[in-house]
């Protein structure tokens, strides 16, 4: 996004420079040419001193947020896989208890559904 804005401002600066050269061909255009040159210089300064650092900072912050988010997703995935493995191991070690828990869970959900009707 910032690169596109920088490219756009650079294009405007080039157009102003070209306009300065074009306007300089006629007579009595010294003031207009000087004003265009001043504006062109100002745009270059803005791009160089304000936009570039801001774009770099936004890019750095986005990379840090992406890295943090990836780490959190990997941690959550690992925790879910560990919990699934523990549940699988507990179910294999005590199958009758697992069936009893499943039956109670089905009964609880069915009771909630009937209560809403």
Q: How many residues does the chain have?
A: 117
Greater confidence (25 vs 74) lies with 74
Mean pLDDT computed over every residue of the chain: 83
pLDDT tens, 6-16?
A: 666 677 777 77
Both structure tokens of 30: 């010294």
Output the pLDDT for position 53.
Answer: 82
DSSP string, 40-104: HHHHHHHIIIIIHHHHHHHHHHHHHHHHHHHHHHHHHHHHHHHHHHHHHHHHHH-HHHHHHHHHH
Give yes or no for residue 99 having a pLDDT over 80. yes
Both structure tokens of 75: 């941690």
Both structure tokens of 103: 């039956």
| Interval 57-79 mean pLDDT | 93
| Interval 68-93 mean pLDDT | 94
pLDDT tens, 22-45?
A: 555 555 567 777 788 888 888 888
Q: What does pTM read for this prediction?
A: 0.45
């Amino acid at each position: 996004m910032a690169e596109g804005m920088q490219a756009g401002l650079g294009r405007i600066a080039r157009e102003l420079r070209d306009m300065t050269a074009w306007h300089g061909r006629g007579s009595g255009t010294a003031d207009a040419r000087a004003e265009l040159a001043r504006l062109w210089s100002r745009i270059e300064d803005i791009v160089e001193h304000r936009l570039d650092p801001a774009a770099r900072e936004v890019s750095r912050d986005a990379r840090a947020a992406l890295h943090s988010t990836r780490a959190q997703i990997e941690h959550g995935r690992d925790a879910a896989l560990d919990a699934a493995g523990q549940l699988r191991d507990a179910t294999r070690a005590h199958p009758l208890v697992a069936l009893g828990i499943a039956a109670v869970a089905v009964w609880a959900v069915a009771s909630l559904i009937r209560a809403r009707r």
